[in-house]
Amino acid sequence: MRITRRVPLLLLIGIVPLVLSGYLPWLAWVALAFDGLLIAFVIADQLITPEAGDVFSVERLVEDKLSLGGENRVVLVARYVGDTRERFGATARRLTVRDEPPAAFDVTGDTTAVALLSATAREQHFAYHVNPPAKGDFQFGDIFIRYEGQFGLIQRVSKITAAVGVKVYPNLVETAKYDMLARKGRLMQVGIRNIRLRGGGSEFESLREYVPGDEYRKIDWSATARRNKLISRQYQAERAQNILLVIDAGRTMLQPVNKMAKLDYVINTALMLAYVAGTSDDKVGLLVFDGDVRTYIPPAKGKTQVYNLLDALYNVNAQMVESDYQGAFKNLAARWRRRSLVVLFTDLTDTESSAELLDAIPILESLHRTVCVTVSDPNITEAAISMPDSTADVYRKAVSTQVMQERKQAITMLKRRGVWTIDSPPETLSSDLINHYLTLKARTAI
C-alpha cells in the first residue's frame, strides 16, 4: 500500500489552523480533529479497498517466437475480475499497468498504460512493440498494477506473476512478407525481380513451333516429321538443385552494423534464401563454422527443412575466434560430394583473414559453384566519402578508406578466381542475393 499525494496536501491544509492557533487557541482542536479524521479516512480506505489482484487482471499477449530485427507486437489486456458492481458499484476505476520486457530489447511505445475500467467498459487493450537486438532466449518479467482506493487516499500495488520465456529467431516477418508479396505478384516492392526460369536449362518442359533464332540442337526431329513442320524442344531450369549455406561465425562476424551483429543479418538472409529455394523445389543444406565446424545439415527439400535450419540457427552467435576456412571447406568436401551452389557468408575486414579465405577457396571451387556474400557497413562507406570537420574525423576517414580498399582488393581477387561476390548493405542484402540466385537458376549456372 502507498499513500497518494492527496494525503500530504491535506496535512498541509491541516497545518493552517495549527499556525493560527496562536491567535485563536481553539483552532488547535480543529487541527487535531482534522488530522484525526484524515487518519481515520486513510485507515478506512485501506480496509474497504481490496487488493488490486482480487479486482483486476492483466494478461500479456506475445508470441513465444519473436523475430530478430523486426517489430514484434506485445498486447496487454486489462480487465475486471468477477462482478464489478459487487466490488465497486458502477464507478469507473483508473488502473495503471506496467510491463517488464527484456532489458536488452528496444521498445517502441509505452510499457506503462492507464486503463479506465467500469461496469460497461470491463476490458481495455494496450500495445507496444519490441525489437530484439540478438537471437537466443530472453524472458519477460512480471506485470505490476496500481490503483487508488475508494477515497483516493491510498494506492494498492500488486504484482501479477507473468514471467515467461521467449525465443528470438531470425527474422520470420520477412519470410511471411515475401510469401504474401509472391502470391500477389508484387515482389518488386522488396527489390526482387521477376525472373522467368523457362527457356534455359536442361530439363525438358514442352514442345513448341520452331521460331528463327532457336538452336538447331533443340529441334525435335521426330515431332517435326509427325507434324510436317519444325518443332523445338522447350527446356526449363532444373527444379532440384543443391544449395549449401556455409556461414562463418568467427570473429569478423561480431562487428555490429546498426546495433545488430553482421552474423544476424547473414542468418536472416540465409533463411530467406532457403525459403525461396525451397519454393523452387531445391534442396538446401547448412554448415556453420568458426574455429571448428559447429553445425552441419545435409541438403533436403521442403518446408520441414527450412524449419530445421531455423531451429539450428536461432541460437547461433559469433565467437571471438579466428575462422578456419581450410578446415571447414575440407569438412564440407568430405561430407558432400555432389555439385552444388555454395553460398558462403563471411566478412572481409582485414588482409590476413582475406588471405586465408583466398587460399581456401579452391577447395570449394574444385567441386561447387561458389557465391561469396559479405555485409558492407554503410557507416564506414559514409565516413570514407565524408568531408572531415575535426582531427578525429580525419582519422576516421583514413581508417574507413583503408578498410574499404582492403575489402575491394579481396573482392577483386575472389572475382579473378571465378567466385561470384555480393557485397551489399543490410537493407538490400536479401534481395540482392535472391536476385542473383534466381538469375543463376534461370541460366542453369548452378
What is the CB neighbour count within 10 angstroms for residue 404? 17
DSSP states of 9-25: HHHHHHHHHHHHTTTST
The pLDDT of residue 358: 86
Residue with cell 532466449: 137
190, pLDDT greater than 50: no
* Closest residue by Cα to residue 324 from 269, 423, 249, 407: 249
The pLDDT of residue 197: 43
Q: Write the pLDDT tens digit of every residue in 410-444.
A: 888 888 888 889 999 988 888 889 888 888 877 76
Whole-angstrom distance, CA of residue 436 vs CA of residue 243:
13
The pLDDT of residue 54: 76
Whole-angstrom distance, CA of residue 331 vs CA of residue 333:
5
The pLDDT of residue 14: 79
107, pLDDT greater than 90: yes
Residue 200's pLDDT band (cuts 50, 70, 90): very low
The pLDDT of residue 335: 94
User: Under a CB-based contact definition with an 8 Å cutoff, are residues 307 and 274 in contact?
Assistant: no
What is the CB neighbour count within 10 angstroms for residue 40? 10
Distances in Å between the alpha carbon of 387 and those of 358, 394, 405?
A: 34, 8, 18
Choose the weakest-confidence range: 299-308, 321-330, 404-413.
404-413
Mean pLDDT score across all residues of the chain: 82
Averaged pLDDT for residues 286-299: 95
Q: Determine the 3-state secondary structure of 221 from DSSP.
A: helix
C-alpha cell at 53: 489482484
Please indicate whether residue 231 or residue 87 has the higher confidence score (pLDDT).
231
Whole-angstrom distance, CA of residue 366 vs CA of residue 399:
36
User: Under a CB-based contact definition with an 8 Å cutoff, are residues 239 and 280 in contact?
Assistant: yes
282, pLDDT greater than 60: yes
Distances in Å between the alpha carbon of 411 and those of 97, 173, 248, 279, 351?
A: 54, 31, 16, 30, 11
DSSP states of 167-182: EEES-HHHHHHHHHHH
Please indicate whether residue 250 or residue 82 has the higher confidence score (pLDDT).
250
The pLDDT of residue 109: 93
The pLDDT of residue 285: 96
* Closest residue by Cα to residue 262 from 274, 248, 272: 248
Whole-angstrom distance, CA of residue 14 vs CA of residue 244:
80
Backbone angles phi, psi at 105, to 5 degrees: -75, 140
Q: Determine the 3-state secondary structure of 255 from DSSP.
A: coil
395, pLDDT greater than 70: yes
The pLDDT of residue 73: 93
User: Under a CB-based contact definition with an 8 Å cutoff, are residues 108 and 73 in contact?
Assistant: no
% the chain with pLDDT above 70: 86
Q: Write the pLDDT tens digit of every residue in 399-413.
A: 888 888 888 888 888
123, pLDDT greater than 90: no
% the chain with pLDDT above 90: 26
